[in-house]
Amino acid sequence: MTLLFTYAATLVIGQAVGVAVGLFIERYSSSASMVVWLSLYFLMFWLAWRLSVRLTEPSSRPAVTRHPQP
């Protein structure tokens, strides 16, 4: 469940960044902003998934303590 919530949060943040970039580029060219925004829109789904999987993966295996041989 943590993975799903992390994915949703990273996706919302990523889409907000994509909209901001699109609005910034729209000042200079409206057709270019649509291409950039649409590219970022789909890229954010993939990027948010990769980031959320990396953030929620379990830590490395616990260290094995070895007992000295008698």
Span 56-70, pLDDT tens digits: 888 776 666 677 676
The answer for residues whose C-beta is within 8 angstroms of residue 15's C-beta and 6 or more apart is: 41, 44
Q: Is the pLDDT of residue 1 over 80?
A: yes
Per-residue model confidence (pLDDT) at position 27: 92
Domain ranges of the chain: 2-56
